[in-house]
Chains A and B, each alone.
Chain A
Amino acid sequence: MMRNLLFLALFTALATPAAAQNSDLDPSAIRRQAPAETVFQGQADEVLTGTVTDDSAWQDLGIAIPAFATDREQPTAANAGGTAALGNELARVVFNDLRNNGLFRPVGPDSLPRPTYAQITAPAWSTWQGRSAEMLVQGYVRAAADGRLTVGCYLYDVALQNELVREGWVVAASEWRRAAHKCADLVYSRLSGESPFFDSRIAYIAETGPKENRIKRLAIMDSDGANHRFITNGQSTALTPRYSPDYSKIAYLSYTDGNPRIYVYDIATGRQTLVTESSNPTFAPRWSPDGRSILYSMAIGGNTDIYLVPATGGNSRRLTDSPGIDVGGSFSPDGRQIVFESDRSGTQQVYVMNTDGTGQRRISFHSGRAGTPEWSPRGDQIAFTYIAGDFNIAVMSPEGRNLRVLTRGWQDEAPTWAPNGRIIQFFRTERNSGETSIWQVDLTGENERRLATPVGASDPAWGPVLP
């Protein structure tokens, strides 16, 4: 039975048209992504909630995150030091997630005593009450004979001596960081009322070299910058990547055959195919929320318009036909509308249309220009690049109202939303040197911070929460 399925999978792969192998794909980047198995869940009755506008209520919330305990010290493929040391690292990942997010006031394992395995489910309250920690995160890690890890995560209210929520996951040893991100997501969601986002990945373009000879490589990393991998080797310029919603593929622009073409790179197999056979230049690929279609821009005779094509290949449908530049595009989370940019009015502005191309209407009427619009996963905001002298990240409602400018840079552009619609990532270009880096800012405009990357970074694309 298994052999038949394998054969079927191979056959399907071979039958895919227009397989485009190229020499700048890095074979060591091929890797499988398995979902984290949830083994238990629990919720206490009391609900603590916060809202986007009510940050101050829990910005001072002290959260103690001591090292996770282990039932038995064992070696594990996850690290060099064994499960006890891994427990320390797990807590550190949780701590860094919550600290870098700018909310709460977490204290990490390096400054705290280590609870025993038994204490994880029965906290030594007096230890924590003396430390002015309102909340306590405790966890454990167990290594199974097959190498997989079970990670448990518990959130406690120290004053009330109450468990608020618990959850556990089984992951492959190599995926231990995901369990920590799941724990951080659990704590974050429970305390803020927001949806999770830490267990997610980012595709982006890594940049090296001088401005006049920039090397641009496709790369991927976890939301905290860990597990970084280059996918292309820089022989040809790669631009504007986008993860498919199920994380199995990346659509991106490459000049590998000398012309701008969009490729769909399969992460598991390391192979890529062209999104369309057309010899016209194509760029700006975007996925539909259900992963079934790809939006892209194509220039015919110098005029750029937006097209929709099935992700598996086939005929493209043209959505715009104005004599202006119509480019980019981002689906609303319900998949019914597309926000895009067009200069048909004379300057770059933001428009909305139905997914069949009807109902095109402009929504940006502010002074200045507007480009690169991205629809929030929550459906309630459009992030975009606001150009009024300098370039900055701004948000507005899908009707174009309530404009708020979130950054004050020289050239900040290309916003991408965290999966919970609460944080916006973008890239910032430094004047003159042209050095680029990825930054994040909260929807309130607070907590602007840089995401550490190995080299220069641009064109970030934040994927959804991993299952």
Chain B
Amino acid sequence: MKRFVIALTLTSALALGACKKDPPAVIPPAPRDVSTPTPSPAPAPGPQANQPGSQGHFSAAMAGADTIFFDTDGYDIDSEDMAALRRQAEYLTQYTSARATVEGHADERGTRDYNLALGERRANAARNYLVSLGVAESRLRTISHGEERPAANGSNEAAWARNRRAVTVMIN
């Protein structure tokens, strides 16, 4: 639930604000030793799923920051995206054996092959930014799902904005 709200807030922020690119961020400081993640309201499926480096553990820790969003036909990493990616990078830096796939997605309002290519651009843009924050390339894969896996079902601007996304998923 909380993830949903965060996602919606991010979307609204995108819609309301001009998406200007900030100058490149300073590399974040080394993570602190404290490792307790933000408690998640989502039900924990079991002890295995909440192992550090697992998808359950990661998405709970990210609370929505596992997903970044894009403009129509766009693949720019804007300031909101950078903030989310920084949190992802922190997590990956902390749990050094974790590996992830960055999935790139597009909304339905495009042709199929072009959307597959666009998903590729988005996944790679997010991945490149994570690498620039110090995550080893070999730990990050990419995959494009084009328009095939929508997160939101409507045929309207709000749904499309939620579907133009790159999602980081832990590889188990």
Decide: A429 and B144 in contact? CB cutoff 8 A: no
Smallest distance from the beta carbon of A283 to chain B beta carbons, Å?
5
The verdict on B133 contacting chain A, using a C-beta distance below 8 Å, is no
Give the size category of A's interface with B: 35 or more
Considering the complex, give the chain B residue whose CB is closest to the CB of A213.
Answer: B149
A252 to B112, CA, bound (A): 13
**CA A372 to CA B151, docked complex, whole Å:** 25
Contacts of B117 in A (CB 8 A): 283, 297, 299, 304, 325, 327
Does B143 reach chain A (CB closer than 8 Å)? Answer: yes
Instruction: State the CA gap A327–B155 with chains docked (Å).
Output: 25
Q: Considering the chains assembled together, what is the distance between the CA atoms of A259 and B101 in angstroms?
A: 11
> Are B150 and A259 within 8 A (Cβ)?
no
Residues of A within 8 A of B123 (CB): 302
Tell me, yes or no, whether A381 is within 8 Å of chain B by CB.
no
A216, B118: Cα distance in complex, Å: 20
Count residues of B near A (Cβ-Cβ below 8 Å): 27
| CB-contact partner of A239 in B112, B120, B121, under 8 A | B112
A377 at the interface (CB under 8 A from B): no
Known A-B contacts A211-B153, A259-B143; the reply to A302 vs B120 at CB < 8 A is yes
Known: A239-B112, A240-B112, A299-B117. A434 touches B73 (CB 8 A): no
Report the nearest B residue to A434, measured CB to CB. Answer: B108
B125 interface residue (CB < 8 Å to A): yes
Instruction: State A352–B108 Cα separation when bound (angstroms).
Output: 26
- Chain A 224-249, CB-CB to B under 8 Å as 1, else 0, gives 00000000000001011000000000
Of residues 107 through 163 on chain B, the ones whose CB sits less than 8 Å from some CB of chain A are 108-109, 111-114, 116-118, 120-121, 123-125, 128, 142-144, 148-151, 153-155
Residue of chain B at shortest CB distance from A430: B155
Bound-state Cα–Cα, A199 to B84, Å: 56
The 0/1 profile, CB within 8 Å of B marked 1, for residues 402-436 of chain A is 00000000010110000000000000010110100
Q: Return chain B residues, CB-CB under 8 Å to A391.
A: 109, 111
Given the complex, which residues of B lie within 8 Å of A341, measured CB to CB? 111, 113-114
Residue contact A385 to B111, C-beta cutoff 8 Å: yes
Point out the residue from A237, A259, A347, A414 that lies within 8 Å of B111, measured CB to CB: A414
Q: How far is the CB of B98 from chain A (nearest CB, A)?
A: 19
A175 to B79, CA, bound (A): 62
**In the complex the two chains form, what is the Cα distance from A414 to B108 in whole Å?**
14
A308 on interface, CB distance cutoff 8 Å: no
With a cutoff of 8 Å between Cβ atoms, the chain A residues found around residue B149 in the complex are 212
In the complex, chain B residues whose CB is within 8 Å of the CB of A284: 113, 116
Measured between C-beta atoms, what is the minimum distance from A278 to chain B in Å? Answer: 14
Q: Name which residue of chain A comes closest to B123, CB basis.
A: A302
Task: Find chain B residues with CB under 8 A from A327 CB.
Answer: 113-114, 116-117
Closest residue to A305 on the B side, CB-wise?
A: B117
Q: In the assembled complex, which residues on chain A have CB atoms less than 8 Å from the CB atom of B118?
A: 325
Which chain A positions have C-beta within 8 A of B112? Answer: 239-240, 413-414, 459
In the bound assembly, the distance between CA atoms of A347 and B124 in angstroms comes to 20
Give me 13 A-to-B residue pairs in the complex whose CB atoms sit less than 8 angstroms apart, sorted by A's number. A212-B151, A283-B113, A301-B124, A302-B120, A302-B125, A302-B142, A325-B114, A341-B113, A343-B114, A347-B73, A348-B73, A385-B111, A414-B112
Q: Top 10 A-B pairs ranked by shortest CB distance?
A: A302-B124, A304-B117, A299-B120, A284-B113, A325-B117, A371-B111, A431-B155, A432-B155, A211-B153, A302-B121
Q: Which residues of B are at the interface with A, using a C-beta cutoff of 8 A?
A: 73, 75, 108-109, 111-114, 116-118, 120-121, 123-125, 128, 142-144, 148-151, 153-155
